Structure 1
Amino acid sequence: MKTIITVDDASTIRKMVGFTLKSAGHQVLEAADGLEAYEKLKGKPVDLVITDVNMPRMDGIELTRKLRALPAYSRVPIVLLTTEAGAAKKSEGRAAGATGWIVKPFSQDQLLALVSRVLPN
């Protein structure tokens, strides 16, 4: 069982992602924005971070940068969720250290396929 945090200011997205991951056998943590996620994750590494890009207080790109600066998160996969499929945002995400990208809306199957691709066995 892997521990995954889902970070999104929309509780409906957190619940959908959480439900999908829990039904696949994962343990799920939730945070409403990057700042809350960063505080939760500083002392407790997880196996995967799935974060929205556009959020108040701290967005997903900034969260990715801050996590990558922590030794415990140098290799943890970080997947960005966004409604923006533009190349500029993708390259900004990659530059920050994001592992992958999923565009909203997405299906449960797309999410699980991405998770199985980025999570080490």
Structure 2
Amino acid sequence: MAKLLVVEDNPQNLKLAQLLLQRAGHEVLTATDGEAGLMQARQGRPDMVLMDVQMPGLDGLQVTRQLKADPATAHIKVIALTALAMKGDAERILQAGCDAYLAKPFQYAELVAVVDKVLT
């Protein structure tokens, strides 16, 4: 399976995503803010990052832009995890460089399906 990084500032959401992804057979790294997520992505070289969009400090879209602008991390797939479901949000998320997005709250099957689709 793949090495995934979950960047999420809500401890319950982080733990849930970690458990669901581990249950699906993935190795899971975690970070609790954008700065730590950026550092973890650069050091851990995951296959994919599941990125919370709304975080204090560096938000998920800022982190995504930095990852995609760096040749060393540009290949890493990014799925935005977001409570933003308004018209225009999806376009803004994809324009920032995310490969896909998943609206919160999500179901186990949705999470696994999106991860599998983006990894292939």
Which of 81-90 and 96-105 deviates more? 81-90
Structure 1 stretches (4+) deviating beyond 4 angstroms? Answer: none
Q: Which runs of 5+ in 1 are unaligned?
A: none
Q: How far, CA to CA, are the matches of 2:116 and 2:79 in structure 1?
A: 12
**Residue-by-residue CA offset, 1:40-63 (whole Å, 9 max, x unaligned):** 222331101001110011111001
**Matching residue's letter, 2:73:** Y
Cα offset for 1:89? 2.2
CA RMSD of aligned residues (A): 1.1
Q: How far, CA to CA, are the matches of 2:26 and 2:117 in structure 1?
A: 15
Q: Does residue 99 in structure 1 map to residue 99 in structure 2? A: yes
Cα offset for 1:23? 0.8
TM normalised by structure 1 equals: 0.93
Q: Which runs of 5+ in 2 are unaligned?
A: none
Which of 38-47 and 20-29 deviates more? 38-47
**Matching residue's letter, 2:85:** A
Identity %: 33
**Residue-by-residue CA offset, 1:54-83 (whole Å, 9 max, x unaligned):** 001111100100100111322221000111
What is the aligned residue count?
120
TM normalised by structure 2 equals: 0.94
Cα offset for 1:95? 1.3
